[in-house]
Each structure stands twice: as structure tokens, then as C-alpha cells.
């Protein structure tokens, strides 16, 4: 597929890395040095210029492209870029739009301006944080089939009850229907079989219904009920969207920021939240605001290092009783924090945005009606968890899973029936029409449910 990416920032670079493997990609950016760097590393074409310019898009041969993705720093440039692309004949356009003032106009933009998809990175990141706060025992939580099935990331602590347990014994020992579908152990990523033995320090990824997940963590004596109070440091756009989400969940929210002007704006827009002018790194201030009795602490300032340090400090001050989430956008820091298990949970706006766009692209590439509905990337992108909707033309409906010749590195992690029933698959189960099927895979980019077979 021919794809044009406008904007060679963090998101544009991540998309180039992923999409250039199987697609014909052209990158447009006004910074010539960035273009040179990208074309030297990836097998892509590069055009230096303003992506909103008709002439620049013609030079990039936009008329022959199936998809244009606008990820420039300006919302307005992204919107104009997509308008020009539609006039040139590009079939699908995706724009990154961040300004909350445009939020109410997104439907109009999609319908009247021909946008295929509009992504608000800050709002998407806020939703990811809110999901984690609904289930604080998890490092990360992803949803499938409208929340009927959850995928949870969890690191096994020292002296965990699961240490030394073989997966085939998991149900007998816990009496809970969960499936451990991937394990990250040091530098190794494993799609485990029944004879795999868990070890303390493993980062496990498990799927189950929300009710079964709660029972599982209660069995491990690490269950935390949903957060009911939160301190957020950083009066940013993410803070605005996150506070809206948390207030709708019935939580009490305190916002801390050093900038008085931003605090005044935030208090006017969010009158139900308590907004405090102060320094989130000040342990005395956190004590005064009750960090010891607060359920969640979220650091989302624009400085990654500050977010990490504040979160580590909050965890220490609360005696590790507070769910801690930090926004870390820089890739090297993100890898370090994740590998060392320094924090409870880490989010990246760029990673969230990239994941949503890749999900859309993968659905476009699907050859049949059984397209990708949801896509989540795990273990720093080494594993993908995809949700497919099964149509009646899928060739292996009704066939027991034990009789399917699956590709290596592919695991069926869950089936959601049309009536909402959750199936943690065994060899005797089969896929039926209108099921939602969750597939976990390493080392390949599945585009269609038929790709799970050899």
C-alpha cells in the first residue's frame, strides 16, 4: 500500500518504522536533516517541504497514495494537509488533532471535510491512564470487545505465589479462568505453552473477563479496588481530559501545577476539581495534600525526568499503597523505566497514537470482512494482541482449535460470543460466526484472521 506520512517527529518516525516494512512509504517534513536521517535508516522516499502545500504533495505523488497520515505539530496544518490530499485523490486521510476546542467539531470534520480518522493523542492517553486506575493492580490494561475481555500486564514480585508454578497447573491452583498469553523474561519474549514455569520478576500478560481478573488478583493477595481519589501533577491537556474521565467515574481529583495562569484556567474549566499552585516535587506539599491516603498519583508534566522522580517519590511517601502512573515520552527513558520495573505504570502519548493509527492501517489492509477491530502492542512492540470479528465466510468456523494448523508464535487468547459469553480457549473449542477472537502473536503483522494459519 502507498502511504504518505507528513511530519517526521516522534509519532511520524514510529509510524515510518512500522509501516515501511510492508508498504511503500513517503515521508514529508520541512526539516531536511530529519528527512535525510529517515531515508538513511528506512527504505522510504523523503520529500522536504510543507506537507500542506499542493506542489509538495504532487512531488510526493500523493495522487497515487491510498493513505495520508498528517502528524505535524500544528492541528491546522494537519487539517489543511488532509484537505489537499483529498482533492488530489487520496482515498483515506488521518489527522492528529490536539486542541480541545476542535473536539466538538470532529464529527463535522470527518463527514464534511472527508477525514477518515481524527486522533487526539492527549485524550487517548488520558483514557489509557483512566483504564489503569479502574484496575490498579495492573501495570497496564487493554480492553477488547467493548470491555468484555481485558488484557493485563503484571510483573510477578519476589515471593509471588506463582513463582515456580507450571502454567498447566494454574487453573487447578487458582480456580480462575485466565490465560497467560505472553511472558517477558529479561531480554526474551515467550508465547508460553502448558509446561512453561513462571518465575518471580517475569512480566506476564494475561487475558480474562474483568470479574475473573479481580478473582485472580484477590487469590494473589495483591488486589486493589478501583481508585477513588487522585493527585495529578501537570495542568496539561492530558490533565484536562483525564480529570474529566475521573470525575465521571466519581473520583475526587486534586491538580498541582507551578504555573498560576494554567491553574486558574484549569479551575475555571474543571470547577469540581481542586486546583493547587505548587511544586509536585515538594514532599511537604504532597504530605499536606494527603498523599498517604490518596489512591492514585499521576505525573504528566512535559518533563519526563521530573515525572519519573515525582512518581518514585510519591510511591515512597505513600508506602507503595498509592497507584503511580508517569507519562514518559522519550524512548530511551521509557525502555529503562520498563526494564527496571522502577514504576507501577508508564504511558506514552506517542505510543498510544501510533497504536491507534496502526490499528486503522491494519484494518484497511485486510483482504476479507474479518478485519482487525482492535490492536494493542505489548513488550515494547515485540508482541501484538489483535481482535478480529469473525464473519461467516471464514474457512475454519466450527473446526476445533486442536485441528487448526496454527503458525508458530500464534496463540488464541480469548473468544467473545455474540451473547457476551467469554471463552478462554481449549483445544475442543471452536470459532463461530460473529465471534470476536483475540489473537496474540510474535514476529509477524497479521492483517486478517486467516493469517493465523500456516
Render pLDDT for 81-119 as a digit per residue (tens, 0 to 9). Answer: 999 999 999 999 999 998 877 777 777 777 777 888 889
d(CA 230, CA 270): 15
pLDDT tier at 325, thresholds 50, 70, 90: very high
Render pLDDT for 24-33 as a digit per residue (tens, 0 to 9). Answer: 999 999 999 9
d(CA 233, CA 379): 27
d(CA 394, CA 377): 25
d(CA 440, CA 412): 6
| Mutual angle of helices 237-248 and 260-269, in 10-degree steps | 30
Could you tell me the pTM of the whole model?
Answer: 0.85
Identify the CATH homologous superfamily for domain 125-129+225-347. Answer: NAD(P)-binding Rossmann-like Domain (3.40.50.720)
Share of the chain above pLDDT 70, in %: 98
Judge whether 2-119 and 352-452 match in fold: no
Candidates 284, 260, 274; CA nearest to 230 is 274
d(CA 275, CA 265): 10
What is the average per-residue pLDDT within 169-190?
91
CATH number for 2-119: choose from 3.40.50.1000, 3.40.50.300, 3.65.10.10, 3.40.50.720.
Answer: 3.40.50.720
∠304-17-363 over CA atoms, to 5°? 105
pLDDT computed for residue 5 by the predictor: 97
d(CA 454, CA 220): 38
Render pLDDT for 338-367 as a digit per residue (tens, 0 to 9). Answer: 767 778 799 999 889 998 898 888 878 765
Candidates 41, 103, 97, 88; CA nearest to 70 is 97
E strand map for 348-396: 372-378, 383-389
Cell of 50: 510543507
Domain ranges in the chain?
A: 2-119, 125-129+225-347, 352-452
- Phi, psi for residue 264 in degrees, rounded to 5: -60, -45
Q: How many CB atoms lie within 10 A of CB 82?
A: 29
Q: SS3 sequence, 220-267?
A: CCCCCCCCCEEEEECCCHHHHHHHHHHHHCCCEEEEEECCHHHHHHHH
pLDDT computed for residue 139 by the predictor: 87
To the nearest whole number, what is the mean pLDDT of the chain?
Answer: 90
Domain 352-452 sits in CATH at 3.30.70.1450
Amino acid at each position: 500500500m502507498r502511504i504518505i506520512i507528513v511530519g517526521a517527529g516522534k509519532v511520524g518516525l514510529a509510524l515510518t518504522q512500522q509501516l515501511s516494512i510492508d508498504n511503500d512509504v513517503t515521508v514529508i517534513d520541512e526539516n531536511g536533516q530529519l528527512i535525510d536521517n529517515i531515508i538513511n535508516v528506512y527504505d522510504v522516499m523523503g520529500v522536504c517541504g510543507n506537507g500542506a502545500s499542493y506542489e509538495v504533495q504532487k512531488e510526493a505523488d500523493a495522487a497515487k497514495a491510498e493513505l495520508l497520515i498528517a502528524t505535524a505539530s500544528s492541528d491546522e496544518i494537519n487539517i489543511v494537509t488532509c484537505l489537499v490530499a483529498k482533492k488530489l485523490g487520496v482515498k483515506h486521510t488521518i489527522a492528529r488533532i490536539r486542541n480541545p476546542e476542535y473536539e466538538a467539531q470532529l464529527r463535522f470534520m470527518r463527514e464534511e471535510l472527508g477525514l477518515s480518522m481524527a486522533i487526539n493523542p492527549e485524550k487517548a492517553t488520558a483514557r489509557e491512564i483512566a483504564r489503569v486506575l479502574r484496575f490498579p493492580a495492573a501495570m497496564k490494561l487493554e480492553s477488547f470487545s467493548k470491555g468484555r475481555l481485558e488484557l493485563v500486564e503484571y510483573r510477578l514480585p519476589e515471593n509471588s505465589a506463582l513463582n515456580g508454578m507450571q502454567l498447566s497447573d494454574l487453573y487447578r491452583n487458582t480456580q480462575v479462568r485466565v490465560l497467560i498469553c505472553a511472558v517477558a523474561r529479561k531480554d526474551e519474549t515467550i508465547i508460553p505453552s502448558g509446561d512453561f514455569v513462571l518465575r518471580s520478576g517475569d512480566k506476564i500478560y494475561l487475558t480474562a473477563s474483568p470479574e475473573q481478573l479481580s478473582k485472580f488478583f484477590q487469590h494473589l493477595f495483591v488486589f486493589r479496588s478501583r481508585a477513588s481519589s487522585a493527585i495529578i501533577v501537570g495542568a496539561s491537556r492530558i490533565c484536562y481530559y483525564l480529570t474529566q474521565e475521573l470525575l465521571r467515574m466519581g473520583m475526587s481529583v486534586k491538580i498541582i501545577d507551578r504555573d498560576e495562569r494554567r491553574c486558574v484556567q484549569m479551575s475555571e474549566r474543571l470547577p469540581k476539581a481542586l486546583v493547587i499552585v505548587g511544586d509536585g516535587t515538594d514532599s511537604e506539599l504532597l504530605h499536606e495534600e494527603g498523599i498517604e491516603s490518596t489512591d492514585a498519583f499521576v505525573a504528566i508534566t512535559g518533563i519526563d525526568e521530573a515525572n519519573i522522580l515525582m512518581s518514585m517519590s510519591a510511591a515512597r511517601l505513600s508506602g507503595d499503597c498509592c497507584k503511580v502512573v508517569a507519562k514518559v515520552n522519550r524512548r530511551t527513558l521509557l525502555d529503562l523505566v520498563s526494564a527496571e520495573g522502577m514504576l507501577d505504570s508508564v504511558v506514552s502519548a506517542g505510543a498510544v497514537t501510533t497504536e491507534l493509527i496502526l490499528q486503522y492501517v491494519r484494518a484497511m489492509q485486510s483482504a476479507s470482512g474479518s478485519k482487525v477491530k482492535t490492536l494493542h502492542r505489548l513488550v515494547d512492540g515485540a508482541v501484538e494482541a489483535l481482535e478480529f470479528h469473525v464473519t461467516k465466510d471464514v474457512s475454519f468456523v466450527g473446526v476445533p482449535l486442536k485441528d487448526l494448523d496454527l503458525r508458530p508464535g500464534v496463540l488464541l487468547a480469548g473468544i467473545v460470543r455474540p451473547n457476551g459469553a467469554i471463552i478462554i480457549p481449549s483445544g475442543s473449542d471452536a470459532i463461530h460466526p460473529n465471534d470476536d477472537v483475540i489473537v496474540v502473536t510474535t514476529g509477524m503483522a497479521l492483517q486478517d484472521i486467516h493469517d493465523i494459519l500456516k
